[in-house]
Amino acid sequence: MNAHTFTLPDLGEGLIEATVLEWLVQPGDRVERNQPLVEVETTKSAVEIPSPRAGAIDRLHAAAGEVLAVGDPLVTFTAEQEAGVVGTVPTEEEPQRRVRLSPPSE
């Protein structure tokens, strides 16, 4: 098991910060991947941010009412398994094609 700090993700549309409205988990809680962690408010809306992986909550890095910038630490937890960050697409290698070229017939 590894400790991971999850930062406030880019919530899109040029938003650079969010205010913590309510924590939906507490230190010591066990969470599943995609389980809502916290509700935050931006200048456009209130959104719930899900957990990127399963694990146990170790530390909340902000209190309700606190403003965080994108990239600031949000929560640290002990992860049970490695997983990708929610909202990212895994990279895949480009398939290699074998093309046979033949000279034009005269």
Domains and CATH numbers, the chain: 2-79 (2.40.50.100)
pTM for the model stands at: 0.69
The mean pLDDT of 33-58, rounded to a whole number, is: 92
Please check the confidence at residue 80 and state whether its pLDDT lies above 90.
no
Give 85's pLDDT tier (boundaries 50, 70, 90).
low
CA 35 to chain centre: 12
**Per-chain mean pLDDT for the chain:** 84
Structure tokens at 26: 């507490």
Structure tokens at 75: 């929560």
Residues 6+ apart with CB under 8 A from 94: none
pLDDT value of position 44: 82
